[in-house]
Chains A and B, each alone.
Chain A
Amino acid sequence: MVRMLTTGTTTIATAVKHADVDVISAYPIRPYTGVMNELARMIADGELDAEYIVCDSEHTQFEIAKHAAACGARVFTGSAGIGWAFAHEALVVTPSDRVPVVAMVGNRALDDPGNFGVEHTDVLVTRDLGWMMCWPENPQEAYDLTLMGYKIAENPKVLLPYIVNCDGNFITHVRFPVDLPDEELAKEFLPSTPPPRHNVLHPDRPLSIAPHVDYYWGAEIRRQMDQAMKNAIEVTRKVHEEFNKIFGRGGPPFVEEIYTEGADAVLMGVGGMAMPARAALKQLRREGIKVGYVKLRRFRPFSTEDVVNALRKFKVVGVLDMDFSFGSAHTGGIIFQEVRSALYDLPDRPKVVNYIIGLGGREITVDVMRSLAKEVNEIAKTGEVKQVVKWIGLRE
Chain B
Amino acid sequence: MVLVAVEFDGRGVTQTALLRAASDIICAAADREGNPSLGYERYDDAPDRVGVPIKGFSVISKYEIPKDQAEKDAADAALPVDQVPAPVCDLSHYKDCYEEVAGEAMLYEPRSVDAVLVYDDTMVRGGEPWAHIGLQAIHEKLKDGGAIVVNSKKDPEFLLNFIQPTNKRYILATIDAEGMDKIFVVPLIGAMLRVAPGIVSYRSVIYAIKDRYKAEGLKKAEVVKEAYHKVKFIEVPPAKGPIQLKRRSKRFEEFPTWKEMPEGIVVYAPPVNTPNPHYKTDTFRTYRPVTDPAKCNKDGLCWLYCPDSARSPDPEKLFEIYVDYCKGCGVCAEVCPTKAIKMVYELDFKEARLW
Taking beta carbons and an 8 Å cutoff, which residues of A are in contact with B? 3, 5, 112-113, 116-117, 138, 167-171, 173-177, 272-273, 275-276, 278-280, 282, 358, 361, 363-366, 394-396
Contacts and interface: CB of A to CB of B under 8 A. Distances in A.
Contact of A276 (B37, B44, B106, B255): B106
Interface string B87-119: 000000000101110111111100100000000
Given A174-B40, A175-B40, A394 B258 contact: yes
Contacts, number: 88
B106 A279 contact: no
B157 interface: no
Nearest to B27: A5
Contacts of A282: 96, 99
Given A113-B265, A174-B40, A177-B36, A365 B102 contact: no
A272 B103 contact: no
B102 A169 contact: no
B41 interface: yes
B242 interface: no
Contact of A170 (B24, B27, B105): B105
A164 B216 CA distance: 40
Which 3 A-B residue pairings sit nearest by Cβ, starting from the closest? A279-B103, A364-B106, A175-B39
Given A174-B40, A279-B100, 9 more contacts: A113-B265, A138-B105, A174-B105, A177-B31, A177-B36, A278-B103, A279-B102, A395-B253, A395-B258
B345 interface: no
Query: Which bucket holds chain B's interface residue count?
Result: 20 to 34
Interface of B: 23-24, 27-28, 31, 36-41, 43-44, 96, 98-100, 102-108, 111, 252-253, 255-259, 265
A396 B258 contact: yes
Contact of A5 (B24, B99, B100, B102): B24
B108 A5 contact: no
Nearest to B61: A279
B253 A169 contact: no
A173 B106 contact: no
Contacts of A112: 265
Contact of A275 (B106, B108, B111, B253): B106
B41 A173 contact: yes
B43 A275 contact: no
B131 to A, nearest CB: 13
Nearest to A171: B105
A234 to B, nearest CB: 32
A176 B38 contact: yes
A117 B41 CA distance: 14
Which of B31, B106, B107, B257 is the most central at the interface, judged by chain A CB atoms within 10 Å of its CB?
Answer: B106
Contact of B23 (A175, A272, A280): A175
26 contacts: A5-B27, A5-B28, A5-B37, A112-B265, A168-B43, A173-B41, A174-B40, A174-B105, A175-B40, A176-B105, A177-B37, A272-B106, A275-B102, A275-B105, A276-B103, A276-B105, A276-B106, A278-B103, A279-B99, A363-B107, A365-B106, A365-B107, A365-B111, A395-B253, A395-B256, A396-B258
Contact of B43 (A138, A169, A280, A364): A169
B207 to A, nearest CB: 15
A275 B36 CA distance: 14
B38 A174 contact: yes
Given A5-B37, A176-B38, A170 B106 contact: yes
Which of B36, B38, B257 is the most central at the interface, judged by chain A CB atoms within 10 Å of its CB?
Answer: B38
Contact of B39 (A168, A174, A273): A174
A310 B325 CA distance: 58
Given A5-B24, A395-B258, A396-B259, A173 B43 contact: yes
Given A173-B40, A175-B23, A272 B28 contact: no
Contacts of A365: 106-107, 111
Contacts of A177: 31, 36-37, 98
Nearest to B46: A114
Which of A168, A279, A366 is the most central at the interface, judged by chain B CB atoms within 10 Å of its CB?
Answer: A279
A175 B24 contact: yes
A155 B244 CA distance: 67
Given A5-B24, A175-B24, A177-B37, A358 B255 contact: no
Given A275-B102, A278-B99, A175 B27 contact: yes
B103 A396 contact: no
B106 A358 contact: yes
Nearest to B252: A395
Contact of A175 (B38, B96, B99): B38
A269 to B, nearest CB: 11
A366 B104 contact: yes
A244 B343 CA distance: 62
Nearest to B107: A363
Contact of A396 (B37, B39, B100, B257): B257
Nearest to B24: A5
Contacts of A395: 252-253, 255-258
Which of A138, A173, A175, A358 is the most central at the interface, judged by chain B CB atoms within 10 Å of its CB?
Answer: A175
A168 B108 CA distance: 11
A168 B257 CA distance: 25
